[in-house]
Every structure is written in C-alpha cells, then in structure tokens.
C-alpha cells in the first residue's frame, strides 16, 4: 500500500491543470538533487532521484543542461529496465512524453503510444488511463477536436474504475485538469470534488495540495479571483508544512497576480516580495525565478495595472529566460506584455522573433496568443484590415475550444474595429454572435454556481 501511495503522489504531482502544477524538481537547486541521488538506497529512491535530475535539466536553458538531460534520461531508462519493475519503467515513459507545446505532433503521439502499449502489455490500467489523458490533451490542443478529447477522458475514467483510491485519485485529478483546460469548468469542479473526497479520506497533505491547485486553476478560469486566492493561500501553508518552500514561493507569485487583477496592488507587492524572499532563502533554481517572474508578468498583462507592469518588466525581466524548444511561446508571451503597456517597438521585435519559430507543430492555443498580439499591434498602428484578420483567427480558435468568455472579447474587438471602418452590416453580424455567446455563457455560469453551492469545502 505504501508503494502505491508513493506512486500516486508522484504521478499526480507531475500532472498539470494548465501547466502550473509542478512536481517541483526544476525549482530546487542542483546540489540538493545531486545529493539525493548520491544518498539513494533503494531502487525507488534512485529512480526518483534520476527523474528529478532529468526534469531539472530538461527545464533549464544552458547548453550543459541539454547534455545533462540527455544523459540522465539515458541513465534512468537503463536503470529502470534493470530493476524489472514495470511501474518504474512506465513512470519513465510517462514523464518523457514530449510536452505538447515543445515536441512535434509526431513525437508527442509516438510517446503516448509507447506508454499505452507498454502499460497494456504489463496490465497497468492506471498508466493506460494516463496515456488516454495525454492523448486527450493532444486532441484538445493541436487539432482541436473536443469530441475526441472528451471520448478519451471517458475511456481513462473507465480504465480507472477498478483501481484503489490511491491510484484512482491521480486519474480523477488529471481528468478534472483536462476539463478545466477545455473550458468546461462545471466538469472540472465535479471531478475536483470527487478527488478532494478521496484526498481528505487518505489525509495526504500532498494530495490535498494538488486538489487545492486544481480548484485554484478552475476558479481562475472562472475569474473568481477571491476563491483562487483562498485555495492558493491554503497551499502556501501546506507546502511550508511539507518543507516544499520552492512551491510556496511560486504560490506567493500566483497570489500576487490575483491581487493585482483585483486592483489591490499593496497586497500584490507584498506577495511579490515574499516570493523572491523565499526563492532567495532556499537558493532556488533559475527556473524558479523564471516561473515566479513569468507568473507575475502574465497576471499583470491581464490586469489594469499598466504602470506596475512597466515597472516590473524594467526591474525583473532579467529573471525571465527564453527556453529552447519553447521559443515561440516565450517570445509571444513577452510581446503581449510589452504590447499591453504600448511599448510597440519591443513588442514588434519580440513577435518577429516568435514568427521565426511558427510551424505546423504550433498548437492552436499558442497560435491564438500569437494572432492576438499581432491584432493588438495592428490596432495600435491603425492597420485595421490586419487587426480584423488576426482577431478573426483568434475567434476561430476560441470557438473551436468552446471558450465562450474569450470568444465574447474577440467579437467585441471585431465589432468595434468594423464599426470604425463603417462596415456596419458585418459589425452587426458579430453583435448577434456576441449576444448568442453571452446567453450560452450565462447558462454555463448558472450551472457552475449550482455546482459550487451544492458542495461544501
């Protein structure tokens, strides 16, 4: 039972609701990870240490990190095969599936299929289920094909029916996270409550922390920032109790962002200082500083705190690095921030750099962010045709993703620009579409309110 719980904690901890729930190895300093490897006594401990070092180097951007990631991947693959432990081998296959924003479509699907085939051969239903969830992410990100994505999530849940609680909770959490990413917060909350019940029963701080992270992400998606703050503050206390101060530092950054979006800059500034103070106190990794900084830039970009964003970019931009393999995402991210403060010279330079990395493998979600930034720049330059073209591309993606809230924003932008061009019939068509989307969103929010009110925390 202890081994099953450890497995559950590991696999649940490395899933991502919106790429914001981390296992944490990449946030720690390298010396502590190397020390764990040198002191490992059991196959489980050694495998976990090798995986931690692989994750650390795979999430950093220096040339030596790339070489080290390749070497640690080789070592953990050889070692886990030598143990003849199918669970450890499957775990390695799981964590080495390329990130959907970094790998090519073919590489991602190949990694998923390898995991599924291996899990099927060794009757590992929980890893078969995880493969289905990763495949669901593939179809909701690259195509997108939401019907296929939902079908795969149902297959994963069916595979998990006969698992014990300590394994099933990992599947339920991942399914909830996927539904949140697919803008179905109602389903995300329902499965989240189910997972929370299991976590409370097991009295596992780690599982409760992951449930809190899921609820934080879901309420953030619903723009209920007070609720998101509530769950993040709970996690700050939990991660400190578990001596995972790197995660507490990142959580402070998340809280700071929510306070800025609530127009409470004093509290936001306090949590920024706490985030960097904690990171300094544990000698956190370069990646930790990168994620703290990126989280705050992202939140400020979606707030009305333009002066604070400009000041933050000036003082903290040095901590945010461009990750090889994630070049397109990172350049678009920064371009969008500079466009927000009307620093269009910097925004143009950054979006042009991003363009060099645009390819057929770029996910629909990343393309949407790219088109949005181009639209902002075009609107600033008053090149209205370009702005309309790029907002339409954004709208096409969000409609396919069933993201009603963002679709409404894009129809509003299109309506406004078309009116400026005196194209009133076309502007009116977008006005009708906007009304329809608002009606659907109101129905969705009503259902989510009922779900929230019917469950006690």
Within a domain: 265: yes
CB 92 within 8 A of CB 51: yes
Within a domain: 225: no
| pLDDT on residue 14 | 38
| pLDDT on residue 103 | 62
Within a domain: 233: no
Tell me the C-alpha distance between 133 and 137, whole Å.
6
Within a domain: 120: yes
Residue 35: how many other CB atoms lie within 10 Å: 12
Are residues 387 and 307 located together in one domain of the fold?
Answer: no
Are residues 50 and 180 located together in one domain of the fold?
Answer: yes
Are residues 297 and 385 located together in one domain of the fold?
Answer: no
CB 160 within 8 A of CB 181: no
Within a domain: 125: yes
Q: Which residues contact 323 (CB under 8 A, 6 or more apart)?
A: 59, 61, 290, 330
| pLDDT on residue 20 | 36
Here the CATH number for the domain that contains residue 411 is 1.25.40.10
Tell me the C-alpha distance between 296 and 308, whole Å.
11
Q: Which domain holds residue 120?
A: 1-197
Number of domains in the chain: 3
CB 184 within 8 A of CB 440: no
Which of 311, 330, 346 terminates a domain? The answer is: 311
Per-block average pLDDT, block size 10, for the chain (457 residues)?
38 38 72 95 95 92 91 96 95 87 78 97 96 93 83 95 89 94 90 93 90 95 94 96 94 98 97 97 94 96 95 94 87 96 96 93 89 96 96 94 91 96 95 94 73 54
| pLDDT on residue 15 | 39
* 3-class secondary-structure state, position 402: coil
Tell me the C-alpha distance between 96 and 277, whole Å.
32
> Is 0.85 topped by the overall pTM?
no
Are residues 163 and 242 located together in one domain of the fold?
Answer: no
**In Å, how far are 157, 308, 389, 434, 435 from 431, measured between CA atoms?**
40, 34, 17, 5, 6
Are residues 272 and 192 located together in one domain of the fold?
Answer: no
Are residues 22 and 147 located together in one domain of the fold?
Answer: yes
């Amino acid at each position: 039972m202890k081994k099953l719980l450890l497995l559950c904690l590991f696999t649940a901890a490395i899933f991502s609701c919106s790429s914001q729930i981390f296992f944490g190895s990449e946030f720690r300093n390298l010396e502590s990870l190397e020390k764990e490897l040198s002191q490992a006594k059991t196959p489980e401990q050694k495998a976990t240490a090798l995986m931690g070092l692989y994750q650390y180097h795979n999430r950093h951007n220096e040339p030596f990190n790339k070489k080290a990631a390749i070497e640690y991947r080789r070592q953990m693959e050889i070692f886990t095969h030598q143990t003849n432990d199918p669970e450890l081998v499957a775990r390695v296959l799981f964590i080495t599936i390329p990130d959907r924003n970094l790998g090519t479509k073919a590489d991602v699907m190949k990694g998923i299929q390898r995991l599924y085939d291996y899990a099927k051969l060794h009757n590992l239903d929980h890893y078969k289920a995880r493969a289905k969830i990763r495949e669901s992410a593939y179809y909701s990100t690259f195509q997108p094909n939401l019907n296929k994505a939902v079908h795969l999530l149902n297959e994963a849940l069916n595979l998990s029916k006969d698992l014990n609680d300590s394994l099933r909770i990992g599947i339920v959490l991942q399914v909830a996270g996927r539904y949140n990413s697919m803008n179905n917060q109602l389903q995300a909350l329902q499965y989240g409550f189910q997972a929370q019940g299991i976590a409370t029963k097991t009295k596992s701080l780690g599982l409760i922390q992951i449930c809190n992270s899921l609820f934080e992400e879901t309420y953030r998606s619903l723009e209920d920032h007070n609720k998101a703050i509530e769950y993040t503050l709970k996690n700050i206390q939990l991660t400190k109790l578990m001596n995972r101060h790197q995660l507490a530092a990142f959580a402070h950054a998340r809280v700071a962002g929510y306070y800025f979006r609530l127009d409470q800059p004093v509290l936001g500034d306090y949590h920024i200082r706490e985030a960097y103070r904690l990171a300094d106190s544990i000698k956190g990794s370069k990646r930790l500083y990168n994620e703290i900084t990126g989280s705050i830039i992202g939140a400020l970009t979606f707030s009305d705190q333009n002066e604070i964003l400009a000041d933050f970019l000036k003082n903290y931009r040095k901590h945010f690095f461009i990750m090889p393999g994630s070049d397109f995402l990172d350049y678009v991210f920064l371009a969008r921030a500079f466009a927000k403060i009307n620093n269009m010279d910097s925004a143009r330079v950054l979006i042009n750099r991003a363009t060099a990395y645009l390819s057929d493998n770029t996910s629909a979600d990343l393309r949407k962010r790219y088109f949005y930034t181009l639209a902002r720049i075009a609107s600033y330059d008053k090149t209205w045709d370009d702005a309309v073209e790029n907002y339409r591309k954004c709208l096409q993606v969000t409609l396919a993703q069933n993201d009603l809230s963002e679709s409404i924003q894009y129809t509003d932008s299109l309506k406004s620009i078309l009116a400026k061009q005196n194209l009133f019939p076309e502007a009116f068509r977008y006005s009708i579409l906007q009304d329809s989307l608002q009606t659907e969103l109101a129905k969705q929010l009503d259902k989510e309110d009922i779900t929230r009110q019917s469950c006690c925390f």
